[in-house]
Chain A
Amino acid sequence: QSALTQPASVSGSPGQSITISCTGTSSDVGNNRVSWYQQYPGRVPKVMIYDDSKRPSGVSDRFSASKSGNTASLTISGLRADDEAGYYCCSYAGSSTYVFGNGTKVTVL
């Protein structure tokens, strides 16, 4: 059960949009639901997206997500300084197991 593949880093200027990819297999991402988590250094992860594309109450609509085949994507629109954090995808992988992505550090230039 390998970690889902994410780019190590993505950067953008304030106001721009960035997209983070999360690639797995048909055993996880391709046939199961994906969630996304934001984590600031030294802080607890926070869910930003669940069920592939749903936003929990209180999460900004600047965060959106989609999935196609074995790849899920998280888009942050109108990039802000406080979006600078680590982002992790997570997929159910069957038989009561889950797998996280290896994480993406977002830098706001």
Chain B
Amino acid sequence: SQKIEQNSEALNIQEGKTATLTCNYTNYSPAYLQWYRQDPGRGPVFLLLIRENEKEKRKERLKVTFDTTLKQSLFHITASQPADSATYLCAPNSGGYQKVTFGIGTKLQVIP
């Protein structure tokens, strides 16, 4: 069955450093992959979408890579700030389908 793996343990990093979160998936070939941010008591907020034919995508301090051979996406936040502290959800999805399939998320804590 399809499986999405994110490190469910919290990731603690020092302010100013680059945070790197990993998303691995198995048993399917997503046409695109999304990353969402979720704060406590809130719904997920869309951050970035990368398609299978794109290797890398950037938005301000965010960078996402998508390696379809390794079946892995990496999510980077450069110059991290305490305000970046949140849970980040990976969502690889097959083309043509509307529903979002989420990983369990990785909690990021940026320490001042």
Q: Do A and B come from one complex?
A: no
